[in-house]
Structure 1
């Protein structure tokens, strides 16, 4: 997935009743062994999303930023417990599942589903077959919206619309 610079303009107003989002995606598999951090090209989709959500007044939980893009990795027991806690606190869960699949992100998707969180998954356009059946079928057991895109920055309006649809579906079901 590529990322271009976000377009200017006024961001959408905050989502009703939503104050936080957990943003997940591939992490440790992207950390460069020589530099000890994720390459800028791999950080960029997360940075674009974090900045987008924060411009809307949302608190963003994100392990990538929290752990300095790989430079300050927490021990497994600590980061696992913290990720689960932050997913439980978050109002919405947004993730890039990854190709190849990110095992950690898939666990986080399971937690978000178990906690009954509205979920938005960002999938690479034209690559549905590269995602596991449980990713593609998660909406059968959870409130999930999918955004298929090739560029995160140009898909931000679609991401916002997907969050609103997921929230509406959750509210309607309640």
Structure 2
């Protein structure tokens, strides 16, 4: 059974009306459902925190510690980097910290992104992709590709 740490925007996943982006939420929930049905264990702050509804601001240290322990225990780190209406990645400071942890710990990293978004990403992220340190899957091809990648890891 593969252990997957699934990351993605939480704090900046909220729109102007204070509601979590429905498209992003659906992608996250569909990905978790798909991975769990494929006999993977999924570590997800989105689920544990109920998309930030169950956060006590006094526990940020515990959240960071929990997430780092998930990283130590996972087989694969997957990040959903959805785009905003400007075709840029929705800001997610925590996700990029997790990418750094995964990279430093030599964990396989898979990014799930909208088509064309990588072109607007940071040069460091593009370099990691070019050097094959990170695998990118387009959101519209997610379910046809992700299982074969995880099985090969």
Distance in 2 (alpha carbons) for counterparts of 1:38 and 1:76: 20
Per-residue deviation, 1:120: 0.6
Distance in 2 (alpha carbons) for counterparts of 1:101 and 1:137: 19
* 5+ residue gaps, structure 1: 1-17, 168-174
**Does residue 1:119 correspond to 2:109, yes or no?**
yes
Match of 2:144?
Answer: 157
- Report the TM-score, using the length of structure 2 for normalisation: 0.82
Asked if 2 retains the 8 angstrom alpha-carbon contact of 1:116 and 1:142, the reply is no
User: Which aligned pairs between 1:88-167 and structure 2 lie closer than 5 A?
Assistant: 88-98=72-82, 99-139=89-129, 143-149=133-139, 151=140, 154-164=141-151, 167=153
Query: Structure 1 pair 127/32, CA: closer, same or farther in 2 (3 Å)?
Result: closer
Q: What CA deviation, in whole Å up to 9, does each residue of 1:107-145 have, x standing for no partner?
A: 000001111111111121122222111212224677421
Equivalent pairs counted in the alignment come to 145
- Report the TM-score, using the length of structure 1 for normalisation: 0.73
What SS is found at the alignment partner of 1:96? strand
Distance in 2 (alpha carbons) for counterparts of 1:157 and 1:69: 26
Distance in 1 (alpha carbons) for counterparts of 2:47 and 2:134: 24
User: Which aligned pairs between 1:1-174 and structure 2 lie closer than 5 A?
Assistant: 18-31=1-14, 38-74=20-56, 75-98=59-82, 99-139=89-129, 143-149=133-139, 151=140, 154-164=141-151, 167=153
TM superposition outliers: structure 1 runs of 4+ over 4 Å: 32-35, 139-142
* 5+ residue gaps, structure 2: 83-88
